[in-house]
């Protein structure tokens, strides 16, 4: 039944295909609770396959990309971070990530099982244009995620060159995250590459010698 509902004809336009897919998912979602785990996994896998490639972006209309994808996955499993990023055309990743509000990003990242690869989390923060706002405004809900996040943004903080940038990082953006600083992050290898302003700020705030 699942394969039959999610099948489409190649002759249809891309928009028609996705509309048909969405209608099928709506129908499946209405009986979501009755499916066995293997059926739910099959539906999820088919959704990911269907949304790969150019089809998806033809129907994207510059709203929140997170909300946009939620409208297709509905009540079914939402993809983890590595899959989430793989659905984006590489040249549009900064645009699509930055369409998400800090609150949406927090909701996504704090969902169980979302961060499946550390490198992908760093890729996200390197392409997201509201990283500092996210760090400052969104509460830390998971110590594990906070540690992973700090590991990703730490190089940007210690490489900040101007005093204004250093102050913004250490006195504003990273205030919630400094308790998660690891010994590796302040090792001689890491600190050797820090800017003078960042080193001075870190020395004063942490009394590192």
Asked whether 125 and 149 are in contact (CB, 8 A), the reply is yes
Q: Tell me which residues of the chain have a pLDDT lower than 70.
A: 1-35, 205-209
Which residues does 43 contact at the CB level (< 8 Å), separation at least 6?
2, 6, 25, 28, 35, 76
CA Rg, the chain, in Å?
A: 21
pLDDT of residue 188: 85
Tell me how far CA of residue 33 lies from CA of 13, 23, 45, in angstroms: 32, 18, 18
Helix residue ranges per DSSP H, 11-111: 14-29, 37-51, 55-58, 65-73, 81-86, 93-97, 102-109
* Residues comprising the chain, all counted: 209
CA 103 to chain centre: 12
pLDDT of residue 58: 82
pLDDT of residue 110: 97
pLDDT of residue 40: 76
pLDDT of residue 4: 43
């Amino acid at each position: 039944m699942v394969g039959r509902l999610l099948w489409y004809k190649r002759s249809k336009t891309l928009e028609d295909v996705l509309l048909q897919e969405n209608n099928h998912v709506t129908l499946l979602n209405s009986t979501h609770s009755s499916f066995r785990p293997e059926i739910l996994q099959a539906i999820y896998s088919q959704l990911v396959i269907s949304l790969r490639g150019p089809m998806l972006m033809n129907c994207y209309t510059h709203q929140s990309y997170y909300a946009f994808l939620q409208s297709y996955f509905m009540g079914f499993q939402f993809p983890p971070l590595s899959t989430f990023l793989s659905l984006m055309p590489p040249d549009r990743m900064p645009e699509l990530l930055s369409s998400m509000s800090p609150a949406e990003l927090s909701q996504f990242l704090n969902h169980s099982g979302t961060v499946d690869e550390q490198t992908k989390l760093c890729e996200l923060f390197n392409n997201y244009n509201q990283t500092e706002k996210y760090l400052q405004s969104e509460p830390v809900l998971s110590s594990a995620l906070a540690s992973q996040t700090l590991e990703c943004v730490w190089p940007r903080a210690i490489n900040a060159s101007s005093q204004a940038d250093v102050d913004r990082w250490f006195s504003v953006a990273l205030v919630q995250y400094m308790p998660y600083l690891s010994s590796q992050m302040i090792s001689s290898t890491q600190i050797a590459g820090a800017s003078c302003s960042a080193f001075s700020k870190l020395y004063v705030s942490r009394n590192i010698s």
